[in-house]
Amino acid sequence: MFDKIIESRALSYSVAIILLSLMMMPIYWTVVTSFKPDIETYVFPPVYFPKNPTLSPFKLLFESYPFADYLRNSIIVTVSTTFIVTVTGMLAAYGLSQYTFRGSSLTIYTLLATRIIPPLSLLLPFYLVVTWLDLVDNLLSMIIANIYLTYPFAVLIMKSFFDAFPKELIDSAIVDGCSRTGALLKIVLPVGAPGIASAAIITFLWTWNEFIYAFVFTSTSKAQPVTVGCFDCIGDIFVNWNQMCAGALLAALPGIIFVFIAQKYLIRGLTAGAMKF
């Protein structure tokens, strides 16, 4: 019996290790390729560990392409979207959680319904609106699109945290002379900080990694984010793989660092996803 348990666990661990290795292989290959010189990038059989690691792909990335502009655009769009969604979504979530008004349930279910619609199916209507507003190849068009894509999820995450907050404490604070705004800022927000932080993290990651809307809405380095800018490394007959991998690595670093710092808030936010309405 004991031997069977050991064999079962050994098999489970072996399968898990194999699957993890397969999942990590693209990440590993991206990292090592970004440090390879050209001669090792295109050689066959492939070099699995660079013999002469170099930073030249990163240098050429900024010299050959407007990669700094791509990073700037991504930062502007991501920070703007995250700030707007977090601040306005927090107020909306607090109102939906603590107050009952005509249409409150309909509002919640409408937010849920917007998440059911595949984002790709809204691409053409969005593009028509962006064209009509003359916002093609403009950072504002991507900010608006990302707000629409991330706002419902952020509101629902924060609402689940506010739902767990006792209304009696808010009423007591108001009786003691605190305004409703003061109760929100001094009592509710400190307790709901994990939910607000998790919503901000998810919004940040979604916006930073968004590709399809940015690819359709932008055409020049004036507005293209880093996810689209990496495609500059693909030529008509040649692909600069080491420079593309260097760009992908630089594009991934902000998200990795952000999640590493605030991962406990992200876990708590996702755990709070079992919401009752």
| Domains recognised in the chain with CATH numbers | 2-50 (no CATH), 57-271 (1.10.3720.10)
- d(CA 143, CA 62) in angstroms, rounded, equals 25
- d(CA 142, CA 121) in angstroms, rounded, equals 16
Residue 76: what pLDDT?
93
Average pLDDT over residues 161-170: 74
Confidence of residue 80 (pLDDT cuts 50, 70, 90): very high
Mean pLDDT is lowest, of 15-24, 104-113, 223-232, for: 104-113
Average pLDDT, the chain: 79
Residue 143: what pLDDT?
92
pLDDT above 80 for 109: no
| 8-62 confidence digits (pLDDT tens) | 677 777 788 888 888 888 888 888 888 877 777 777 777 778 778 788 888 888 8
112: tokens are 């849920």
Q: Specify the pTM.
A: 0.81
| Residue corresponding to tokens 């209507």 | 125
Average pLDDT over residues 104-110: 74
pLDDT above 60 for 211: yes
Query: For the purposes of burial, counting CB atoms within 10 Å of the CB of 262, is it exposed (0-12), middle (13-18) or buried (19 or more)?
Result: middle
